[in-house]
């Protein structure tokens, strides 16, 4: 992925964050973090464990985080380098 493609993905993700309902906003926020991880770690480094991510997210938000699954799914999809058009 080139830096131009990366910047385009971030821009497209930001537009989705601005226009979606709350659960999908969290998915796209997670995706944005995951695609950043994917771009910065182009080597074969495994993404953080799903449960570690959930723990960090709930801890950051006081343990009362309604859409943690959506965020975690988005993060995982971003880490895998999926493009928004490939996501259902």
Residue 39 inside a domain? The answer is yes
Q: Is residue 88 part of a domain?
A: no
In a domain, 86, yes or no: no
Q: How far apart are CA 21 and CA 40, in angstroms?
A: 29
Q: Is residue 87 part of a domain?
A: no
pLDDT band at 81 (very low <50, low <70, confident <90, very high): confident
Is position 25 within any domain?
yes
Work out how many domains the chain is built from and give that number.
Answer: 1
**Band of pLDDT at residue 31, cut at 50, 70 and 90:** very high
Domain limits at 33? 3-81
13/31 Cα distance (integer angstroms): 8
| 61, part of any domain | yes
**Is 44 domain-assigned?**
yes
Q: What integer is the mean pLDDT of 64-87? A: 82
| pLDDT for 8 beyond 90 | yes
63 within some domain: yes
Q: What confidence category does residue 71 fall into, taking pLDDT thresholds of 50, 70 and 90? A: confident
Q: What are the distances in angstroms from CA 12 to CA 1, 6, 31, 32?
A: 15, 10, 11, 10
């Amino acid at each position: 992925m080139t830096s131009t493609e990366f910047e385009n993905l971030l821009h497209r993700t930001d537009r989705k964050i601005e226009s979606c309902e709350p659960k999908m906003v969290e998915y796209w926020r997670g995706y944005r973090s995951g695609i950043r991880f994917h771009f910065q770690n182009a080597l074969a480094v495994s993404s953080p464990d799903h449960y570690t991510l959930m723990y960090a997210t709930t801890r950051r938000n006081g343990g009362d985080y309604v859409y943690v699954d959506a965020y975690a799914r988005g993060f995982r999809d971003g880490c895998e380098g999926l493009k928004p058009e490939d996501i259902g």
